[in-house]
Amino acid sequence: MDILKSLGHPEEIFNLFKFKMGGCRAVMPKLDYESMRETLRTCYVYLNQTSRSFAAVIQALDGELRHAVCIFYLVLRALDTVEDDMSIPLDKKVPMLNDFHTYLYRDEWRFTESQEKDRRVLEDFPTISLEFRNLAHEYRDVISDICHRMGVGMAEFLEKRVGSMKDWDQYCHYVAGLVGIGLSRLFSASQLEEPEVGQDTELANSMGLFLQKTNIIRDYLEDTQEGRVFWPQEAWSQFAARVEDFARPENLESALSCLNLLVTDALRHVPDVIAYLSRLRNQSVFNFCAIPQVMAIATLSSCFNNPMVFQGVVKIRKGQAVTLMMDATNMRAVQTIIAQYSQEILHKVSLSDPSRDKTLSILAVIQEKSALSQSSLPSRTHLSPMYLSAAMLLAALSWQYLSTTAAQVQGTGDAHGQ
């Protein structure tokens, strides 16, 4: 039960209740689907089906930017589905990736042979491409260009492994940095943000790299079990003969050394993240950009020096995620969050860690850039332990009651509907 995982964090329990009662509508408002044309409504259905993390923040964007980013996401999801599908032979997949941007202007192009879970976006690509062509040309030009560059990059890495740290940066640029660049250009094209947001490709690239590296670090076990290796060889070869060996208990010390090295490398993008976010002026764009970034640094803090990375999936608590989503709505709050999690990582750095000096160095830079000293960080709670215990017990019992009541109401409704 999610609430039990947050018992030591009373603010998370409060925010879970607030979220359950619709308290996040200011950040994640609901869309009026009834007023949309059918093909656009279908695109939002696909968005919600294929995105675990971005659907809500995309739908909260202002004006026409919302539709442009929705279509951008679906086009890249379709492209990514082609890349991920191991049932497509290389001699067929490579040309598809290179040419994918041209399919946006072909009314009837679709692909019905995919075995991937998100294959629907390929099977019904005509609906997505139709809505792409309904966008203003400023948006179409950005989406087509990024799709082209990403497809070429994906094709390049199909036949080569991520070897050097430079390769890692390049791979992450193709699959995520370009997304950050494309989104930034869309923000500026919408005129919700200043032109410099879309022009500064270095900062935008770092936004994507930070998220992608976090995902790659966290997904070590799932990827290696499925025969995929995204950890760079230059890093893991310092500690093991095979990257898969990190999952063996006797190799835990070496595994943690490599893990911490990669987390440290990902953290070097955080100063750019702070600089990028500080430029944003539109509230919906800020929420869209800031929420995934604070989720990422929270995830890295959970992963750092954590053996569970090699035994399962490390996830932040649901209450923690909801709290981050509700808090990360202004630059001051984001700086506070970044400072807090960088401080958490600092406390986990061991004296024997080979990357210790580099880790401490980048954490010092992050603390400086976040412009917050540890002493100035707000206290999480001022309640006494006795009141906290009582509050958490009451919250847990109330949550259980509400959940049971909701289930009973749902069951009654289902019965009446039959």
**Alpha carbon of 295 to those of 142, 318, 384: distances in Å?**
27, 11, 29
H-only helix segments in 190-269? 195-199, 201-218, 220-225, 233-236, 252-267
Is-catalytic flag, 228? yes
Q: What tokens appear for 240 in the block? A: 């093991």
Q: What tokens appear for 217 in the block? A: 């670090």
Out of 66, 120, 185, 218, which one is annotated catalytic?
Answer: 218
Is-catalytic flag, 310? no
Q: What are phi and psi of 360, to 5 degrees?
A: -60, -35
Q: What tokens appear for 366 in the block? A: 């992050």
Out of 100, 132, 171, 304, which one is annotated catalytic?
Answer: 171
Distance CA 122, CA 372 (A): 47
Q: In sequence order, what DSSP letters do the residues of 95-128 get, joined into one string? A: HHHHHGGGGGG-TT-------STTTHHHHTHHHH
Distance CA 12, CA 238 (A): 40
Is-catalytic flag, 171? yes
Out of 187, 288, 310, 341, which one is annotated catalytic?
Answer: 288
Best CA proximity match to 256, nearest among 357, 358, 366, 356? 356
Is-catalytic flag, 288? yes
Best CA proximity match to 175, nearest among 227, 223, 213? 213
Q: What tokens appear for 52 in the block? A: 């675990």
Out of 133, 161, 228, 248, which one is annotated catalytic?
Answer: 228
Active site residues: 171, 218, 228, 288
